Amino acid sequence: MSAGLREIAQPFIAAATAGTRVRTRLRVSDGDAAVLRAVGRHLGCLAGRDLAARCRQGRLDAKGRAESRRERKRALTAQSSARWAGAITRTSEDAWQLADRNLHAERASLAARVNRIESRLAVTAGQKQGRIRGYRDQNERHAKTIWLKTLTTTPAPAVTLEELRQHPVVAVDVNAGHLAVAVLRPDGNVTGTPFTVSVQLAGLPTATRDGRVRAAISVLTATAKQHGANAVVIENLDFAAQRAEGREHTGNRPSRGRRGKKFRHLVAGIPTAKFRDRLVQMTFNAGLRVIVVDPAYTSRWGAEHWLAPLREHHPEISGHHAASVVIGKRGQGHRARRRANGNLPAPEDAARPARARPRTKPAAKPAPRKPAAPRGTRLLKSTKTGPPHRTTAGNQAAQDRSGPPAEQETHPCSVLRNGFLATPT
């Protein structure tokens, strides 16, 4: 009996990039790596929660900062140690103060740039007024006017998930060496023909790999613009655990031998983090958003429910395209699996009363076939008993006798007594 399905996480919109990340790697033994990984995972969770708690408190005075740190340190000491709790709370406070200073510096820099542009726009192009010189020509002046509007227009309101679902979406299934792409309308139906975008990155330099990832994302952006889509739907893939486990055996994951080597090579060839970061950045610049969904059962349900219907119209469709359909439907909030009784009625039919809906007579079921006789008990055609033939009443006497009996004894009434036939006297 198969185990129950795990709970699928709700889709969310990926936040735009707002920082830089630097990676490094330590050359340690396997035992030390396991210890460092466990300690880092535990302390990282504590530091993240503490920083989030400090950010929720906002700006505080000196007394408020001291009280806040004392309470947070007391809570962290019970989960780690006093030394780690002190380091975490101090780091969180320093991070908050640095972010606050950077915010003030960026605001001052923005105000200074706005004032400088406005003062130079007040002077005719190519001329000078006092110590302020105007822009060189009309082209530069026009460009600075547009830039000034960009610096001073209010930011657009945040887009909600429900607003993105009112338009088509571009669903992407990220695989090793290629992307499977399908465009879905707001009702969840596929429009156009699903296609494949090649992203061969194995054995290439870093600059070449980055260029190919950007080219693939440019194709997705152009496809979204062509179909009027406002969002790209991808899976929330993160193979950090699989990469960290290496050849360790976990569950049904292949770990050693050819299957394990093939699995590790496949995981290493999927550009999850690089593709996601580039996709969020480039789509945001193009006015699009990225919807991230849970990757659970996308390939399984795609092959089970959508591969055969898609191949009826497009025989070249693969299982990856069927998985992209499940990804897109999950991002739109639709049911990923097909219903056994068919699709739901159209919205205009669902709004009508039950008696006013058009009903179609179901097709008659074919007559059940008679089960064949077992092979050992089948009778030959010549041995079957024929139908009885009625004959007119005639002489029923045996033909081998000389004639009918001379006389026949008759009994007017017979009574069954004690199991014997008796004749009343």
Same structural domain for residues 102 and 230? Answer: no
Instruction: Report yes or no on 262 lying in a domain.
Output: yes
Angle (nearest 5°) at CA 277 between 151 and 330: 105
How many structural domains is the chain composed of? 2
Same structural domain for residues 97 and 231? Answer: no
Tracing tokens 């055969």 back to the chain, one arrives at 308
What is the distance, to the nearest Å, from the Cα of residue 50 to the centroid of all Cα atoms in its chain?
Answer: 31
In whole angstroms, give the CA distance from residue 324 to residue 173: 5
Residue where a domain stops, chosen among 324, 341, 358: 341
For residues 44-53, average pLDDT? 93
* DSSP, res 412: S
For residues 234-260, average pLDDT? 60
Tracing tokens 């092979």 back to the chain, one arrives at 375
Same structural domain for residues 117 and 160? Answer: no
Burial of 88 (0-12, 13-18, 19+ CB in 10 A): buried
For residues 98-117, average pLDDT? 93
Instruction: Report yes or no on 9 lying in a domain.
Output: no
Is 90 exceeded by the pLDDT of residue 289?
yes
What pLDDT was estimated at residue 336? 83
Same structural domain for residues 160 and 299? Answer: yes
Residue 121's contacts (CB-CB under 8 Å, 6 or more residues apart) are: 134, 135, 141, 144, 145, 148
Instruction: Report yes or no on 291 lying in a domain.
Output: yes
> How would residue 205 be classed by pLDDT, with cut points 50, 70 and 90?
confident
Is the dihedral angle over the CA atoms 378, 381, 382, 383 positive or is it negative? positive
What pLDDT was estimated at residue 230? 94
Tracing tokens 């330099």 back to the chain, one arrives at 205
In whole angstroms, give the CA distance from residue 24 to residue 383: 90
Of the candidates 128, 57, 144, the one whose C-alpha atom is nearest the C-alpha of residue 93 is 57
What is the pTM for the complete model shown? 0.52
Cβ neighbour number for residue 111 with a 10 Å cutoff? 11
Six-digit token string for 84 = 């780690």
> How would residue 338 be classed by pLDDT, with cut points 50, 70 and 90?
confident
Mean pLDDT of the chain, nearest integer: 79
Residue 320's contacts (CB-CB under 8 Å, 6 or more residues apart) are: 173, 175, 178, 180, 196, 299
> What range defines the domain where residue 243 resides?
155-341
What pLDDT was estimated at residue 172? 94
Is 80 exceeded by the pLDDT of residue 366?
no
Pick the more confident residue, 45 or 255.
45
> How would residue 357 be classed by pLDDT, with cut points 50, 70 and 90?
very low
What pLDDT was estimated at residue 12? 85
Instruction: Report yes or no on 182 lying in a domain.
Output: yes
> How would residue 41 be classed by pLDDT, with cut points 50, 70 and 90?
very high
Percentage, residues of the chain above pLDDT 70: 68
* Pairing of β 169-175 and β 231-235: parallel
> How would residue 350 be classed by pLDDT, with cut points 50, 70 and 90?
very low
What pLDDT was estimated at residue 354? 44
CA diameter of the chain = 161
Pick the more confident residue, 74 or 257.
74
Same structural domain for residues 106 and 159? Answer: no
Same structural domain for residues 334 and 266? Answer: yes
The dihedral formed by the CA atoms of 211, 280, 156 and 226, expressed in degrees to the nearest 10: 70
Cβ(172)–Cβ(179) below 8 Å:
yes
Is 70 exceeded by the pLDDT of residue 309?
yes
Same structural domain for residues 290 and 168? Answer: yes
For residues 99-118, average pLDDT? 93
Instruction: Give φ, ψ of 236 to 5 degrees.
Output: -85, 70
| Percentage helix, strand, coil for the chain under 3-state DSSP, each rounded to 5 | 45, 10, 45
Same structural domain for residues 161 and 114? Answer: no
Of the candidates 333, 336, 323, 321, the one whose C-alpha atom is nearest the C-alpha of residue 291 is 333
Tell me the DSSP string of 226-289. Answer: HHT--EEEEE----HHHHHHTT---TT---SHHHHHHHHHHHHHS-HHHHHHHHHHHHHHTT-E
For residues 45-52, average pLDDT? 93
For residues 141-161, average pLDDT? 84
Tell me the DSSP string of 191-220. Answer: EEEEEEEE---TT--HHHHHHHHHHHHHHH
Instruction: Report yes or no on 265 lying in a domain.
Output: yes
What pLDDT was estimated at residue 365? 59
Pick the more confident residue, 12 or 70.
70
* DSSP, res 380: P
Cβ(76)–Cβ(89) below 8 Å:
yes
Instruction: Report yes or no on 401 lying in a domain.
Output: no
Tracing tokens 């991230």 back to the chain, one arrives at 292
Is 60 exceeded by the pLDDT of residue 331?
yes
Residue where a domain stops, chosen among 298, 322, 341: 341
* DSSP, res 376: G
Pick the more confident residue, 377 or 325.
325
Same structural domain for residues 216 and 291? Answer: yes
Same structural domain for residues 221 and 168? Answer: yes
Cβ neighbour number for residue 76 with a 10 Å cutoff? 23
Of the candidates 293, 302, 297, the one whose C-alpha atom is nearest the C-alpha of residue 323 is 302
Instruction: Report yes or no on 31 lying in a domain.
Output: no
What pLDDT was estimated at residue 228? 94
> How would residue 90 be classed by pLDDT, with cut points 50, 70 and 90?
very high
174-178, 225-229, 318-322: range with lowest mean pLDDT: 174-178
Same structural domain for residues 255 and 325? Answer: yes
Strands (E), 310-417: 415-417
CATH of the domain at 165: 3.30.420.10
Residue where a domain stops, chosen among 341, 358, 390: 341
What pLDDT was estimated at residue 373? 54
What pLDDT was estimated at residue 379? 47
Same structural domain for residues 159 and 297? Answer: yes
Is the dihedral angle over the CA atoms 359, 361, 365, 366 positive or is it negative? negative
Instruction: Report yes or no on 408 lying in a domain.
Output: no
For residues 73-100, average pLDDT? 94
